[in-house]
Amino acid sequence: MKLYKNMLGAAFSLGVAIAPGLANAQFGDFVVDEGSVPDTSPNTFTADKVNGSYLEQLTINADSTFSAVGYATFSAFLSNEGSLVVPSQINNLEPAGYLLRASFESTGSFDPVAGTFTGGEATFNLFADPNQDSDITFGATAADAFSISNTGDNYGIGFATNAITLEGIPGVPGAFNFIWDDFTLTADGQNYFISPDPFYVQLQANGDFDVDNFGPGTFEVTGDVSAVFDVTPPVPEPASMALLGLGLLGFRATRRRAVRA
């Protein structure tokens, strides 16, 4: 009987852990080999978060749709659930330092009453800038093409295109939360993020923005950004939850028959 209770308790815990809205995100540890970046010193470390800042161009249209393009520069790796700074060479002075940067684009809708943003699509491109000299030039609006200068030494680390969560909420400051479930390392990225292998596919970027009053027009927005790799088990489809429930009922019925026998 005790074994049955323990098994049923474990099964119930599994059901709670994967139920929609109840699972808590966990930071995934990863190992960085900075020696893979040209002109850096050998340095390998474990971290679970990377922090930085960004500059974004946001255009809100009269029909309450929006476009946004941005450019993030990361300044620190952290460990212990993002609470401790890990010594690294990002943002160090030449010749040993380099920049870890990301460009991103998104589109979606803006609710002028609630002041909230709901994204429809978004891309994320993470790259190394060994010479620390790239810069972004925006177009007339966020819907126009933008350019990145001095890219001869830059190379891609990873990218994501399939956004599953794109949220922005008002406040002082406001906040945003983006999640992609298809983060993919390039060949160079596999030399930079060397563990785990295969690498995480779920990337979460969140932070704040410094503008608290939006309306139609084009804005430049600054803020802070953090990126983590989420190791929370994926939420199953309703059909999977139903199968789990039927499995528990079947297990219970089988156990009852065994006890009666």
- Among candidate residues 149, 144, 153, 116, the one with its CA nearest the CA of residue 39: 153
Prediction pTM value: 0.77
DSSP 197: S
How many other CB atoms are there within 10 angstroms of residue 213's CB atom? 9
Beta strands in 61-133 (DSSP E): 65-79, 84-86, 99-111, 116-129
Q: What was the pLDDT predicted at 108?
A: 93
Residue 216: enclosing H or E segment and its boundaries?
A: none
Q: What is the mean pLDDT of residues 92-120?
A: 87
Q: What was the pLDDT predicted at 8?
A: 29
- Report how far residue 10's alpha carbon sits from residue 48's, in angstroms, rounded to the nearest whole number: 28
Q: What is the mean pLDDT of residues 77-86?
A: 94
Cis peptide before 196 (omega within 30 of 0): yes
- Report how far residue 219's alpha carbon sits from residue 171's, in angstroms, rounded to the nearest whole number: 16
- The tokens of 73 are what? 């520069």
Over residues 184-242, the pLDDT tens digits come to: 999 999 999 999 999 999 999 999 887 767 789 998 988 999 999 987 644 544 443 34
Phi/psi of residue 152, each to 5°? -60, -35
- Among candidate residues 203, 198, 190, 258, the one with its CA nearest the CA of residue 229: 203
Q: What's the distance, CA 220 to chain centroid? A: 22
- Report how far residue 99's alpha carbon sits from residue 88's, in angstroms, rounded to the nearest whole number: 11
Q: What was the pLDDT predicted at 121?
A: 92
pLDDT at 43 over 70: yes
In this structure, are residues 198 and 189 in contact, taking their beta carbons and an 8 Å threshold?
A: no
How does residue 25 score in pLDDT terms, banded at 50, 70 and 90? low
CA angle 144, 54, 111 (to 5 degrees): 65
pLDDT at 261 over 60: no
- Report how far residue 46's alpha carbon sits from residue 31's, in angstroms, rounded to the nearest whole number: 4
pLDDT at 16 over 80: no
Q: What was the pLDDT predicted at 94?
A: 65
- The tokens of 78 are what? 């952290």
Q: What was the pLDDT predicted at 215?
A: 83
> Is residue 39 left, alpha or beta, with left meaning phi > 0 and alpha meaning psi from -120 to 50?
left
Phi/psi of residue 140, each to 5°? -65, -40
